[in-house]
Amino acid sequence: MNIATPIKSALAVRDQFPAIAGWHYLDSAATAQKPQAVIDAIANAYGRDYATVHRGVYERSASMTQSFEAARAATAALIGGAESEIVFTRGATEAINLVAQRHPKGGRSRVLLSALEHHSNIVPWQIAGYEIDVVPLTHYGQIDLDAAERMASEDHAIVAFAHVSNVLGSILDAKRAAEIAHGVGAKLLLDGCQAVPRLPVDVGSINCDYYAFSGHKLYGPTGIGALWGRAGLLDAMPPWQGGGAMIDRVTFEKTTYLPAPARFEAGTPHIVGAIGLHAAIDWTQAIGLDALHAHESSLVTECRDALREIDGITLFGPEDSAGIVSFALDGVHPHDIGTILDDESVAVRAGHHCAQPLMERLGVVATARASFAAHSDSSDIEALVRGLDKVKRIFG
């Protein structure tokens, strides 16, 4: 596959997505549609190849175990980590909760977040008892790292930022964020849900400490995701959930546990989810994340230019956002925009996008959001503009 020429070449992969025929799907930031290669991998794993993993002594179980662990290796390679540092989770939400509940605070009680975080990078820290400090945004919708540097202190155990905002598409200078965190002895966790499908990620180069992402935004299945953590940090964390697969030896008097990552994977894992994630990683890497980023960046520019021509449109976020364009139309609730666009076979997200504190700071109750993917092209933007013209006619 090759989408080195932005926009037009997306047609080369569009027909690999059976769910989008006749439909302009612009909600990939919520969940990505699945290419046929991923669907086939899931069907085969649940069909001719299915068996449980890790404990079976028969051939098919051994084969499925090999496939499951190959998925771990592919996940590690995707972000530049080691296999022993990848914990499979249900998604980024569970991964962040795991760190919030089990990262050793070392006497520190605060976490440094930003004003644009998803609820899944706010609520887990509250539940875990952290005090939250909030870094403001720049005028252009970026996390203000100058402010973060001033605010970071030795009271902070964790700095936790979105690598890419799910509302604004703004891209964090992750290396500098790591320097700021480490400068006060804190650890950096990155929410990579929107970054991993759109950007090359190398946790070693970034020098972060934890990285979380979900498979379903990366063209893979729901219910599977990953936490990458530095080996020394994972080794220092006690188990989070108990059950089979994470134990060394169990007696009624005492239980001992396996090392990470098994220690954090209690119970039968989402075997087929991991295999589907592996297929999605292979599919994405065959295109190339650099090419995907260039493709989506071109679409963002084209979309923002087209929306500016519509009277009453307000655009949010930076010009160079990663695959995401959030907007509002004067006098029209985003839910009405989304409903009318649906009648025109255009799917956008409308609401607070699980970022209510950000909506408050933007001065709106909600936005409409168009988000792009490998299969997106100019026809999707043209359909969006036609749909918004209809919205304006209806609302006068």
* AA letter at 91: G
pLDDT 10s digits, 352-377? 999 999 999 999 999 999 999 999 99
Q: Domain locations in the chain?
A: 8-30+288-395, 39-286
* Residues labelled as active-site residues: 354
pLDDT band (50, 70, 90) for residue 284: very high
Mean pLDDT of 149-170: 98
Same fold, 8-30+288-395 and 39-286: no
Distances (CA, A) of 194 to 198, 369, 373: 7, 14, 11
CA gap 21, 90 in Å, rounded: 29
Using an 8 Å Cβ cutoff, are 92 and 192 in contact?
yes
Mean pLDDT of 261-273: 97
Q: Rounded to the nearest 10 degrees, what angle do helices 334-343 and 378-395 cross at?
A: 120
Is it the case that residue 1 has pLDDT exceeding 90? no
pLDDT 10s digits, 66-119? 999 999 999 999 999 999 999 999 999 999 999 999 999 999 999 999 999 999
For residue 26, which phi and psi values (nearest 5 degrees)?
-125, 45
The CB density around residue 299, as the number of other CB atoms within 10 Å, is 25
Question: By three-state DSSP, how is residue 27 classified?
Answer: strand
* AA letter at 54: H
CATH code of 39-286, in short, is 3.40.640.10
Question: By three-state DSSP, how is residue 291 classified?
Answer: helix
Tokens 């963002």: give the residue: 300
> Considering the entire predicted model, what is its pTM?
0.96
∠ CA(287), CA(288), CA(291), 5° rounding?
Answer: 95
Report which of 199, 197, 203, 164 is spatially closest to residue 281, judged by C-alpha positions: 197
pLDDT 10s digits, 234-256? 999 999 999 999 999 999 999 99
What would be the CATH architecture of the domain defined by 8-30+288-395?
Answer: Alpha-Beta Complex (3.90)
